[in-house]
Amino acid sequence: MREAPACRQAGLKIAERRVKRGVYEAILAERIRFSLFWSLARAFWLLFLGRKSNSLHLLIKGDLTQKFMKLIVGLGNPGKKYEKNRHNYGFLALDHVHENFKTFDDWVLDKKSNALISKGEFQGQQIILVKPQTFMNLSGSSIASLANFYKINSEDIWLVHDDFDLPLGVIRISKNSSNGGHKGVKSIIDALGTKDFLRFRLGIHPIGKTFLSVIFKKLTSIEKFVLKNFDKEEIKMAQEAIQRTDQAIETALKEGPEQAMNEFN
């Protein structure tokens, strides 16, 4: 009769082990089901929906720290007031790239950098299009923030902006050059601590006019001139230059900046 408590104790231990084994088996089965579900979901998105949203495509791939290869920046001022100004040439050109390439997400505001960004890819290269919302003279803070976050080197930052020193309709691709009096470019050079980045410069100087003639005729300054809209007779030339800029960026992505310089400079 004294063996009964010992038997009961042994029985309880056996039952306890069985319960624990059952719990472990249930947890393992749940993990297997979750893993299978996630694998199927990932396959579904990659096959059918991944192309529709490059950001979601990266998320499904599980690569949350994806480093984008290029930061393509258009310079301008935010708001309807400045929308069609000469100084917003960079914004206008980048909007054309965004629309024409058809591989980029919708524009979203990145609050940390205070910039509108659009992520996408071209020729297997991951790209972020950027329109700083800080106003022109403070553009550098946005670019430096994004470059630091995505670990992008200065040579992988491409800048698109207006240039008063070039005639309207002319584009020039340059690298490692001075700011040329452009305060937005100066802000970026100061923030990055280098001028070793590619620039697509779009001319806005009136054809057939010297700067002095513009000053005396319009009683204005360069600052006021760039904050005015393109004249009616200038719009066609500006649009043609934007299209060539689009082509130049595409060539630079496909064949490299040197080839783009040879073709478009």
| Gap between the Cα atoms of 99 and 106, Å rounded | 10
| Gap between the Cα atoms of 117 and 217, Å rounded | 39
Residue pair 222/211 in contact by the 8 Å Cβ criterion: yes
Q: What integer pLDDT is reported at residue 12 of this predicted model?
A: 63
Q: What integer pLDDT is reported at residue 151 of this predicted model?
A: 92
Q: What integer pLDDT is reported at residue 13 of this predicted model?
A: 66
| Gap between the Cα atoms of 259 and 265, Å rounded | 10
Q: What integer pLDDT is reported at residue 23 of this predicted model?
A: 62
Q: What integer pLDDT is reported at residue 219 of this predicted model?
A: 47
| Gap between the Cα atoms of 14 and 18, Å rounded | 6
| Structure-block tokens of residue 75 | 């310079």
Confidence (pTM): 0.72
Told to judge if 87 belongs to the known catalytic residues of this protein, a careful annotator would answer yes
Residue pair 91/80 in contact by the 8 Å Cβ criterion: no
Taking CA atoms, 93 is separated from 43, 131, 220, 241, in Å, by: 36, 11, 26, 9
Catalytic choice (87, 98, 161, 205): 87
Please report the sign of the dihedral spanned by the C-alpha atoms of residue 218, residue 204, residue 71, residue 240: positive
Q: What integer pLDDT is reported at residue 47 of this predicted model?
A: 54
Low-confidence ranges of the chain (pLDDT < 50): 1, 50-53, 55, 58-67, 216, 219
Residue pair 234/214 in contact by the 8 Å Cβ criterion: no
**Residue 15 φ then ψ, to 5°:** -65, -40
Q: What integer pLDDT is reported at residue 255 of this predicted model?
A: 94
In the DSSP assignment, the letter for residue 229 is B
Q: What integer pLDDT is reported at residue 50 of this predicted model?
A: 46
| Gap between the Cα atoms of 125 and 68, Å rounded | 8
Q: What is the secondary structure of 159-189 as a DSSP string?
A: EEEEEEEEETT-EEEEES---TT-HHHHHHH
Q: What pairs with residue 122 in β-bridges?
A: 125
Residue entry with tokens 């970026």: 188
Q: What integer pLDDT is reported at residue 69 of this predicted model?
A: 80
